[in-house]
Amino acid sequence: MLSFFRKREDGTNPELEGAESSVAPSELGQEEGGNKGNQDEVYTELSFPPAWNVSKEDKYAFQFLNGECAPLKPNQISLSGIEIQRDEIDKKVTVKAFIRSSLDKPVKFEKTTLVLIGHDGTVLGRKEFDLSQIGELPPKSSRPWLFEFDAKDMLKVDLPRFGWKLAFQLNKEEKHELELDPSWDKSLDSQAKEKLVKMVEDLPSLQSDEVNFMGLQAKKKEDGSLHVTMLIRNGSKKNLNLEQLPLYVEDASGDVVAKGGFKLDSFIVRANTSKPWSFIFPKEMIVKEELDLSRWKAYAPKK
The DSSP symbol for 198 reads H
User: Residue 84: what residue type?
Assistant: I
The answer to whether the predicted template modeling score (pTM) of the entire model surpasses 0.75 is no
Q: In this structure, are strands 20-23 and 211-220 parallel, antiparallel, or unpaired?
A: unpaired
How much of the chain exceeds pLDDT 90, in percent? 59
CA 268, CA 242: separation in Å to the nearest integer? 6
**DSSP letters along 1-40, please?**
----SPPPTT-PPP---B-EEEE-GGGGTPPP-TTTT---
Entry field: residues in the chain = 303
Tell me the β-bridge partners of 194: none
pLDDT at 34: 56
State the maximum Cα–Cα separation within the chain, in Å, rounded to a whole number. Answer: 76
CA 100, CA 72: separation in Å to the nearest integer? 9
**CA-closest candidate to residue 96, choices 18, 7, 14:** 18
User: Residue 296: what residue type?
Assistant: W
pLDDT at 215: 92
Model confidence over 206-249: pLDDT tens digits? 877 788 899 999 999 999 999 999 999 998 878 899 988 999 99
CA 82, CA 15: separation in Å to the nearest integer? 7
**Which domains occur in the chain, in start order?**
20-174 (2.60.40), 178-299 (2.60.40)
**DSSP letters along 209-243, please?**
T-EEEEEEEEEE-TTS-EEEEEEEEE-SSS-EEEE
Q: Average pLDDT, stretch 175-188?
A: 89
pLDDT at 1: 44
User: Residue 281: what residue type?
Assistant: F
Q: Average pLDDT, stretch 131-149?
A: 95
Q: Average pLDDT, stretch 194-213?
A: 86
Mean residue pLDDT across the chain: 88
Model confidence over 8-43: pLDDT tens digits? 555 677 899 999 999 888 777 777 665 555 568 999
